[in-house]
Amino acid sequence: MADSDAQDRNLPASQKKIERSRKEGQLPRSRDLPHFAVMATGGALFATSTPYAVDTLQRMLEGSLRFDAEQLRTAGMMTERLSTLTWQGVMLGLPALIILAMAAIAAHIASGGWNFTMKPLSPKFTNLNPITGFGRLFQMQNLTTALKAVLLSLVLGVVGAMALKDRIAGFIGIMSVPLPSALAFAGKQLMGGLMMLGLCLALFAVIDVPLQRFQYLKRLKMSREEAKNELKEAEGNLEMKHKMRAKARELVKRRMLAAVPKADLVVMNPTHYAVAIAYDETKFGAPRVVAKGLDLLAFKIRDIAKDNKVPVLQAPALARALYAHAELDREIPGALFGAVAQVLAYVYQLKAALKGQGAAPQAVPNPPVPDELDPHKKPGWTPPEDEFDDQFPEGKPA
């Protein structure tokens, strides 16, 4: 069953599965790249800081061997001097250790990227099963890692032996030269050997980094069943979002229709658009759109307005412009103030006439609207399928 499942995993890993594996602490880490980084950084530090380190060690040695009879009679002098030398040695080697650690961390990040998770630290009792652990020893990844480690050890051993063979006579000869010359010769020979080892590690790192990436993506390959399940999960989440968005639209529609009876007038064109406007000079600086709708919703707004004796005016261009450019519960655009003022004046005059407080208006106004605000005069413009697409820009539910 496991073999057939592994053979069925022939689809590349999705981005979601890769992100999930990173959260679990699985990354394409190369071991050879940090080895090379530490070796190269150590060689660079050795080449640049050896004179300073030798001079410092020489002064430390001279200071530690300088004492007199009075100091010898002082209790605890040797302990104090040993503590001082230890602290000086630590301070001398600590910067190098920090730099090497930073090089190793940088190499790990370069091979697999930065990732922080505590998941790998959580206990897994399945790892304590000896039968399972024995089976993991013969997995292709572990066998490849073991063979690569053996090959690297052989290569480094052969290179090191060849370097030592070529230099063994020179090392024997330095016993007859002064100490400064002997140290300089030993340092030069050591740098040559480190360079050869570094080249070998660099070659292995160049091969190992893409190899680890390839094996990582191979381990994450998906079967068709996994891909289907992941797609279903994504569609389920998308369907839930659509349901929530549809419910939010419904709430907006209910709130909007509840505001129609309090409007001052409804502007319509005969068949498509309806916009309800309210204006209270004590609360608003300008008229506001409290409801707007398209097609069936437009007729619903009209019917509610008539049932509540809210005037309904036919002004097609103004209705289209308000629908396209005015937002719910917001003041109308400044460019439409004049047109809206005309229809509001008509409504107020009509209400006053019905109460016997003035003359009736002569005719129903049809105020002009700038062409750039009339959506029907823009080439290629079509009304949205859902009148709340501007309120929910992510799209309508499926």
Across the chain, what does the average pLDDT equal? 76
Lowest-confidence region among 21-25, 28-32, 127-131, 366-370: 127-131
- Provide mean pLDDT across the span 377-396: 53
Alpha carbons 193 and 47: distance in angstroms, whole number: 13
Phi-psi region of 113 (alpha: psi -120 to 50; beta: other; left: phi over 0): left
Residue that has been written with the tokens 């068709």 in this structure: 224
In the predicted model, is pLDDT for residue 393 greater than 50?
no
Q: Considering the chain, tell me which residue range(s) the CATH 3.40.1690.10 domain(s) occupy.
A: 263-377
- Provide mean pLDDT across the span 62-81: 70
CB 287 within 8 A of CB 278: yes
> What are the contacts of 237-242 at 24+ separation with CB within 8 A?
238/398, 239/398, 241/394, 242/397, 242/398
Residue closest to 36 by CA, chosen among 202, 153, 171, 196: 202
CATH 3.40.1690.10 fits 263-377, yes or no: yes
The pLDDT value given to residue 121: 63
Q: Measured on CA atoms in the order 293, 295, 300, 305, is the torsion positive or negative?
A: positive
Q: Which residue has the higher pLDDT, 40 or 270?
A: 40
- Please write the tens of the pLDDT for every residue from 188-231: 777 777 788 888 888 888 888 888 888 888 888 888 888 777 77
Residue closest to 195 by CA, chosen among 40, 45, 38, 33: 40
Bridging pattern class, strands 265-268 and 312-314: parallel
Q: What is the token pair recorded at 380?
A: 């290629």
Lowest-confidence region among 54-58, 109-113, 125-129, 232-236: 125-129
Alpha carbons 13 and 216: distance in angstroms, whole number: 10
